[in-house]
Structure 1
């Protein structure tokens, strides 16, 4: 990571994964090109789970090359570090113009990138457990209907897991005084 001053610890990265609505799964296709797509992903300890149809481009790629990188983007916000009057003063001073780049025309963000190998889950009990975790995250108010849905849909669904082998996390955030935080 180039910006070590923005690097965050593993626990921070796990929190980003848990609160995001999706992750971008990146892989290399059969022609050697990057292929990325957003998927609804959940985490249980060190394992990421997602599901898909039984066939398709990603299913084929996973068979040939299970290595993936998954990017998760947490909160993104344009900071309001200065009032209009303060910005009008900054623009008058050549020595302060750099503040426009570093503190005005920027974003606060948090992200995590997990790497690992995709594995198709074959065990029915583990498939159901993974789908239950997924459904509890995305459709928690519908869990009364989970058993009927799983009975009807499990046979037409691939369920995958990725053991997190490497996790990096990064953040840019300003405090109440407009100073960048660790």
Structure 2
């Protein structure tokens, strides 16, 4: 799979590992992609990261459960903040639009989006150890339902026989960002990134 990892065309937008982890930890969902025929199967899931492991929970039946095999190679995509940049006033945009030589600026800086994303490749497995399963469910609850976290063990005890947890061990992690600074310059090569 090393060819897959080298596929990023815009290396100037590549971000460090801690940025990728930040995107994963702050994304509301990740999209798990599984091999299937005739089309791949991709499904958005509530995913939590614990060091180099991702966890999500599921019912014990359904299409993804039928497709998942232990040690299967999978891909998960996360999207963080996305927005259209607001770099110019309306009068500045009108001036750019009036000059055909500047139309490339419209495409690059007006008809574009700022974004942040992370992609992981790894191997998936069904969590069978009760201690790890409970830990994963607590982590998921802490991320998605922090207000009621004190009740999580009651929920786990009630749903324990009906829930399945999967773990994905991260083997490769990459991330990209497109972002502009206050002067309208793209912040390439991770410029300005801090945890």
Both structures adopt the same fold (TM-score exceeding 0.5): yes
1:179 matched to 2:185? yes
What does 1:1-182 align with in structure 2 at a 5 Å threshold? 1-29=8-36, 31-63=37-69, 66-182=72-188
* Equivalent-residue separation in structure 1 for 2:49 and 2:125 (angstroms): 15
User: Secondary structure of the equivalent of 1:77?
Assistant: coil
Q: Where in structure 2 are there 5+ consecutive unaligned residues?
A: 1-7, 189-195
* Equivalent-residue separation in structure 2 for 1:33 and 1:91 (angstroms): 42
* Equivalent-residue separation in structure 2 for 1:33 and 1:82 (angstroms): 42
Indicate conservation of the 8 Å contact 2:71/2:125, yes or no. no
* Equivalent-residue separation in structure 2 for 1:160 and 1:39 (angstroms): 11
Instruction: Give the structure with the higher percent strand.
Output: 1
Q: Where in structure 1 are there 5+ consecutive unaligned residues?
A: none
State the 1:74 CA deviation. 0.2
How many residue pairs get matched? 181
* Equivalent-residue separation in structure 1 for 2:13 and 2:169 (angstroms): 25
**TM (normalized to structure 1)?**
0.96
- CA RMSD between the two structures: 1.1
Indicate conservation of the 8 Å contact 1:28/1:65, yes or no. no
Q: Deviations over 1:49-87 (max 9, x none)?
A: 000000111111112772210000000010011101101
**TM (normalized to structure 2)?**
0.90
